[in-house]
Structure 1
């Protein structure tokens, strides 16, 4: 029986390798001086002095670990303060800190929809959201990416049926860097009465007057019923959070979500780092138009160099290669030229859309942009 399992594993991995889809972990040394265009530290806060000092102080005060689940002794005054700060920042009355975005999405979508409900989800939502929905037992329908006309047709079709209707979207999509019209989604919600669950992970920090995300930027602050955000991207820390208007949603997650109930809670140094990062995000708000312009300049430069990239001002720029093997070779060539980039392949993205994804951060210079474009052109694509 064991031989059968071993053979099955070998064959599955060999098939992935033949298709150019085998993933490997490479340890990054602290001495790596290449420009990191693969990570999501959009505001360069992971090494910000104020963030590091806050984390170090919490390390000495609380120790390196929460050492227990939140329901035992892992929930500290720091965690409570972070939840209050996040809720006020985003305009929600309730917040719950969790260990990761994957866990937060799985908990929300695994607990709120139930059998007999229907979930209408954008085709490109994150895998954590899909897995949460599938575990809920609710019926799942997918609409074409950012196609709100298609969503509206589905809403009409589902009207009058028993069960609740949920709509699940992201604000900034992690692999494409694009966004839906949140104002129109807000209007659709008012008209059809669905429960809207929104992932703001890649918008927080970069978008909105205060940096709270795309809801703020598009003039519909706190419109979604539930928001999932992250502490590990623009805020330079680790962990995630859930925001909601209804206190029963928070209590449901605290009582029923295994991802929360059975996990050692987020380490206090990460919590303190996130608190300091939110403060720094407010300090940096005056520079936000410059970051948006930086994104536009990178897109314009790539377009002028002959590469097809979408317009926009988010920190994520995809350069679609199509073939997975080609995307890997391009990423390897760029890494050899001093630029860390990610080759994103199926199943993370749809078949035929393998890409090199560029993740911008606020301190990139014009020389970096010029050097990257020159290196990319030098690969003779």
Structure 2
């Protein structure tokens, strides 16, 4: 075979995706004069807050642009240790461990907690879980069962047939439709069957619970000895990175056994500094959590009243269904041309195969911006 022909299959796959309207493209966002943003995950409007950006700059000046190595070598600073302490205290857990991303935090938690030496661990995963949780299950090589979305009884049935270690895995707020998992009922099932519960709170931290302390806190599960949570620093905290929260012995285990902690370069000091500053602002300004939820409810109310189909938001994500991938792409492009950035989710990113616009509410949106966004979406979708 000629050298140039070895990747011909990539062109064939591209053509099939193009015909199906599923080709993805990169569009660098502007630093200045950006459109109204309902696409990013800056739920509390902190990514550009002057205290957050100043903290990032100061951390970079003091500690350097990069962390220079893995956390176990040179990648840990006083900022990382302080961030771990403050995250754990704020969210109500005994300890925390910071990673370079929420993705690597999820891979670490799932793989390291599924490696019990005395018997096979069963992983029970919600079918709507984020890709990072799904990948963690695959990488773990543990036995796994995928259960119907938000169905504690289905979880119970899977656990009842397993006699060894078990870990139930769920998002707290699902990233596609924005609905919340039934955490109290899942915890009840886990305890009845002797299983641990792992909650990805990427879309709950900063929005749910007292003062934005997260979905486990709201459900009365924070600090429980059988519950582990993961969070991202790149959404409500406006920075970058992730963390695992849980009992101290879980964190101790991850330090020595989680490959994405041991072999990955540590989180950059600037990101740690920014997350710390954002966490301080969240403590001081708990109104941001309620405002983001208020904006989400208003978007949902007005769009559905106009005839669009949108999932009821339990936090800050509003999912608006489109009739086809092509329609979703066209709606998003028309919104962008009108100065409104919206998310566009299509297969295979969505587990149910339904294309949609994904809107993310923000605490710093004004009422006038909300009015303009609703008008633009309705005009674009022909509602």
Matched position secondary structure for 1:282: helix
Q: How many residues align?
A: 377
Tell me which residue corresponds to 2:65.
64
Tell me the TM-score normalized by structure 2: 0.94
Cα deviation for residue 246 of structure 1 reads 4.3
Q: Is 1:122 the counterpart of 2:126 in the alignment?
A: yes
Tell me the TM-score normalized by structure 1: 0.94
**Which one is further off, 149-158 or 28-37?**
149-158
Please give the alpha-carbon distance, in whole angstroms, between the structure 2 residues aligned to 1:193 and 1:34: 49
Please give the alpha-carbon distance, in whole angstroms, between the structure 2 residues aligned to 1:86 and 1:351: 34
Taking a change above 3 Å as real, the CA distance of residues 325 and 241 of structure 1, as seen in their structure-2 partners, is: same
Cα deviation for residue 19 of structure 1 reads 1.2
Tell me which residue corresponds to 1:44.
45
CA distances 1:146-195 after superposition (whole Å, capped 9, x unpaired): 1122222222233xx2x211100010111111011211122222211101
Taking a change above 3 Å as real, the CA distance of residues 5 and 32 of structure 1, as seen in their structure-2 partners, is: farther
Q: Is 1:135 the counterpart of 2:139 in the alignment?
A: yes
Contact 2:198 2:228 in 1 (8 A): yes
Contact 1:322 1:352 in 2 (8 A): no
Please give the alpha-carbon distance, in whole angstroms, between the structure 2 residues aligned to 1:70 and 1:289: 35
Tell me which residue corresponds to 1:82.
83
Tell me which residue corresponds to 2:107.
106
Please give the alpha-carbon distance, in whole angstroms, between the structure 2 residues aligned to 1:68 and 1:287: 35
Taking a change above 3 Å as real, the CA distance of residues 351 and 192 of structure 1, as seen in their structure-2 partners, is: closer
Tell me which residue corresponds to 1:29.
30
Taking only aligned residues, the RMSD between alpha carbons, in angstroms, comes to 1.7
Contact 1:94 1:250 in 2 (8 A): yes
Cα deviation for residue 32 of structure 1 reads 3.6
Tell me which residue corresponds to 1:377.
378
Cα deviation for residue 369 of structure 1 reads 2.2
Equivalent positions of 1:1-381 (< 5 A) are: 1=1, 2-114=3-115, 116-158=120-162, 161=163, 163-223=164-224, 225-247=227-249, 249-379=250-380, 380=382
Matched position secondary structure for 1:82: helix
Please give the alpha-carbon distance, in whole angstroms, between the structure 1 residues aligned to 2:275 and 2:259: 24
Please give the alpha-carbon distance, in whole angstroms, between the structure 2 residues aligned to 1:321 and 1:178: 18
Taking a change above 3 Å as real, the CA distance of residues 26 and 269 of structure 1, as seen in their structure-2 partners, is: same
Cα deviation for residue 287 of structure 1 reads 4.6
Please give the alpha-carbon distance, in whole angstroms, between the structure 1 residues aligned to 2:30 and 2:251: 40
Cα deviation for residue 351 of structure 1 reads 5.0
Please give the alpha-carbon distance, in whole angstroms, between the structure 2 residues aligned to 1:177 and 1:167: 20
Contact 1:293 1:313 in 2 (8 A): no
Cα deviation for residue 352 of structure 1 reads 3.3
Taking a change above 3 Å as real, the CA distance of residues 91 and 187 of structure 1, as seen in their structure-2 partners, is: same
Q: For structure 2, list consecutive stretches of 5 or more residues without a partner in the other structure.
A: none
Please give the alpha-carbon distance, in whole angstroms, between the structure 1 residues aligned to 2:269 and 2:288: 29
**Which one is further off, 258-267 or 324-333?**
258-267
Contact 2:106 2:230 in 1 (8 A): yes
CA distances 1:266-302 after superposition (whole Å, capped 9, x unpaired): 1111111111110100111145334322221111111
Matched position secondary structure for 2:212: coil
Cα deviation for residue 111 of structure 1 reads 2.1
Cα deviation for residue 221 of structure 1 reads 2.7
